[in-house]
Amino acid sequence: MFAGRGSLRWRSRYRPAPLLSASPARALIDEQISIQGRFLPPHSAVTVCAHMHSEDGDLWEAFSHYNTNEDGTVNLSRDHSVGGSYVGCEPMGLMWSLQPAPGAREGLRLRKKNVEAPYVVNLSLLEGHVTPSDCFTGEGRGAGPLAVSTVERWYMTPGVRRIDIRQNGIVGTMFLPSGPGPFPAVVDLWGMGGGLVEYRSALFASRGFASLSLAYFGHKDIPGPFNTINVGIDYLRSAYHLLQDRPEVCEERVGVIGLSFGVFMSLQIATQPDLKPKCVICVNGSVGDYSGSMGQSFESTSRYWRFDEQGYVSFREVTLPNNIHPENRVKVMCKIKSHTHVLPIPNIQLQSLQFYIDNMSLQLENLTCPILWIVGEDDFGCASIENANEIEEALRSADKAQLFTRLSYPGAGHLIEPPYSPNARTSLWTVKPKKLITLWGGHLAPHAAAQENSWNKMLHFLDCNLRG
């Protein structure tokens, strides 16, 4: 039986003051840190808390309950949490379980904007198994935390170079690893949230890969209506060549990664016979162009939007293969006995075939590189399982099954990001013409496990295919 709060002599002249350490104190976001409490009474209840402010000033917090060992220590890499934001032995639980503090603005999602500065996470150690309000306000019995520590979580290592790209109509940010190179490289594409998202690219560069984070939608520097995709394959081709032409890049060792709609854009690159990337990573995406037929905005797909009892919207049905316009579906061509066969183009009329070939279709007969396809099985933002099945079957029909590797994660949602990032099961999508909160799916612990495992598999996949 553990002693209650206030019943222990936590400080005495015979015992050093409690100490909370976190090592390393500065680390990349994908690195584990060791969090330990020492000089505590044996077999006693303690709470370890984490809190930080986002770049927008919002408070994020996590806490967990532990019981010290007979030597008066608690070690998050060894010991099991018995309650709080997570349970079990989770060395990085305080990082991936961070959530907006009570009373925060609705629809928050933690996304790094300035990758040249870290997240600063404040850790504290408190007596007893306490409530979040005790952790973060200092209220309750006792004189505040027993010990505190601070860690910095970075996306960029020292020496990584960040370069704004506004060249020949291309909008992006390039990250180059420290040193002269040439380096293997990655084109990095995000989804229909639009804008220019840099943090994954910065982390790739920190792991030795030159990376181009490419904007293609919803950015002020891209001409045309803000809420439609106004670029095509020529834009993607130019960006790919821009990355190849850098002297720091090994032009024959370039891969592509896409999340959500970025998967379709990545496959566009991979199926161009003049580009031939060495590999493609696809995270929770679609094999068709669901953005809106014939240059329409994404709102044109609203007949497939589904709302829950809270009014939150799921876009999952938008991306079901059967709901994507036939002209924008995946197409595979293969040669059998000198005749060309088209597989599969269900319900497509012959008179529309030329439009289909000339526009945003995926000509998988040109695909020659391996694909790592990552699926979150609790994805509410995309029909990820169905799309993975679709492309796997298409490649099998084209006798290219050996190119396809699937990683599937129960309990993981749409937003599979670098490890130890907290998941947003919902987030604000737009406020105009009306406020929309989007359902992404994912449960904290299995989603965190998926992020950690898939990130390591991604890096291994890139090493194997880009470094040779």
At 287-331, the pLDDT tens digits run 888 775 445 567 778 889 999 999 999 999 999 988 877 666 655
Residue 1 lies in a domain: no
What stretch of H or E contains 397? helix 384-397
> What is the CA 330 to chain-centroid distance, rounded?
25
| Residue 415 structural domain | 161-467
The percent of residues above 90 in pLDDT, for the chain, comes to 75
Residue 100 lies in a domain: yes
Amino acid at 433: P
Residues 404 and 263 in one domain: yes
Most confident of 200-209, 339-348, 430-439: 200-209
Active site residues: 260, 379, 414
Beta bridge partners of 35: 22
365: CATH = 3.40.50.1820
- The stretches of 302-428 forming alpha helices (DSSP H) are 353-358, 384-397
Whole-angstrom distance, CA of residue 199 vs CA of residue 111: 8
- What confidence tens digit (pLDDT) does each residue in 136-180 have? 655 544 558 999 999 999 999 999 999 999 999 999 999 999 999
Amino acid at 369: C
Sign of CA dihedral 389, 459, 119, 137: positive
In which order are the strands placed within the sheet that holds 34-38? Answer: 19-23, 34-38, 74-75
Residue 227: per-residue pLDDT: 80
Residue 251 Cα distances to 54, 182, 267, 272, 458, angstroms: 37, 9, 19, 16, 20
Residue 144 has a CB neighbour count (10 Å cut-off) of 12
- What confidence tens digit (pLDDT) does each residue in 230-262 have? 899 999 999 999 999 999 999 999 999 999 999
Final residue in a domain of this structure, among 96, 126, 154: 154
Residues 361 and 235 in one domain: yes
Residue 142: per-residue pLDDT: 52
Residue 429 lies in a domain: yes
Residues 226 and 94 in one domain: no
Final residue in a domain of this structure, among 112, 139, 154: 154
Contact in structure between 286 and 264 (CB atoms under 8 Å): yes
Residues 412 and 388 in one domain: yes
* Residue 186 backbone class (left: φ over 0; alpha: ψ -120 to 50; beta: rest): beta
Residue 11 lies in a domain: no
Residue 10 lies in a domain: no
Residues 147 and 248 in one domain: no
Residues 120 and 229 in one domain: no
Residues 106 and 195 in one domain: no
348 pLDDT higher than 80: no
Residue 140: per-residue pLDDT: 43
Residues 347 and 256 in one domain: yes
Residue 7 lies in a domain: no
- What confidence tens digit (pLDDT) does each residue in 68-101 have? 999 999 999 999 999 999 999 999 999 999 999 9
Residues 369 and 237 in one domain: yes
Residue 327: per-residue pLDDT: 66
User: Whole-number mean pLDDT of the chain?
Assistant: 88
Residue 13: per-residue pLDDT: 55
Final residue in a domain of this structure, among 92, 127, 154: 154
Q: Average pLDDT in the 440-444 region?
A: 98
Residue 322: per-residue pLDDT: 87
44: CATH = 2.60.40.2240
Number of structural domains (the chain) is 2
Residues 285 and 165 in one domain: yes
- The token pair at 387 is 């799309």
Q: How confident is the model at residue 115 (pLDDT cuts 50, 70, 90)?
A: very high
Whole-angstrom distance, CA of residue 72 vs CA of residue 69: 5
Residues 331 and 243 in one domain: yes
Residues 332 and 213 in one domain: yes
Residue 13 lies in a domain: no
- What confidence tens digit (pLDDT) does each residue in 365-383 have? 889 999 999 999 999 999 9
pTM, to two decimals: 0.90
Residue 51 lies in a domain: yes
